[in-house]
Amino acid sequence: GAGVSQSPRYKVAKRGQDVALRCDPISGHVSLFWYQQALGQGPEFLTYFQNEAQLDKSGLPSDRFFAERPEGSVSTLKIQRTQQEDSAVYLCASSPTLGNYNSPLHFGNGTRLTVT
């Protein structure tokens, strides 16, 4: 079956450019998470959604980062005026029903962003 799909797989942006990263979760999955992973580090929480509601965005590094999930399915992470420190792998993960605490996250393959 289809897993979590992220696009693009790789993105090279010039400093100051805006980028948009897309995540297609597993169909029917209620929860959707975004993480930022630097080389050799664990995934750092950015934000998460339950359906279309963004429940926590405390991990977004600055107001240049914005995430949305308008119809409770596909999500987009937008980074405005990219900086070199934004270079990382951006991972999206989804999870099925609410309150089912043993439901693991299913990860996409990530988008590797390089800002030059």
Partner 1 sequence: GQNIDQPTEMTATEGAIVQINCTYQTSGFNGLFWYQQHAGEAPTFLSYNVLDGLEEKGRFSSFLSRSKGYSYLLLKELQMKDSASYLCAVREEDDKIIFGKGTRLHILP
Query: What residues make contact with partner 1 under the rule CB under 8 A?
Result: 31, 33, 35, 40-45, 48, 50, 55-56, 91, 98, 101-102, 104-110
* 51, 29 contact by CB (below 8 A): no
The distance of closest approach from Cβ of residue 55 to partner 1 in the complex, given in angstroms and rounded to an integer, is: 7
Tokens of 72: 């409770």
Please say which residue, 18 or 56, places its beta carbon nearer to partner 1: 56
> Could you report how far apart the first and last alpha carbons of the chain are, in Å?
37
The distance of closest approach from Cβ of residue 45 to partner 1 in the complex, given in angstroms and rounded to an integer, is: 5
The span from the CA of 76 to the CA of 5, in Å, is 12
The distance of closest approach from Cβ of residue 10 to partner 1 in the complex, given in angstroms and rounded to an integer, is: 12
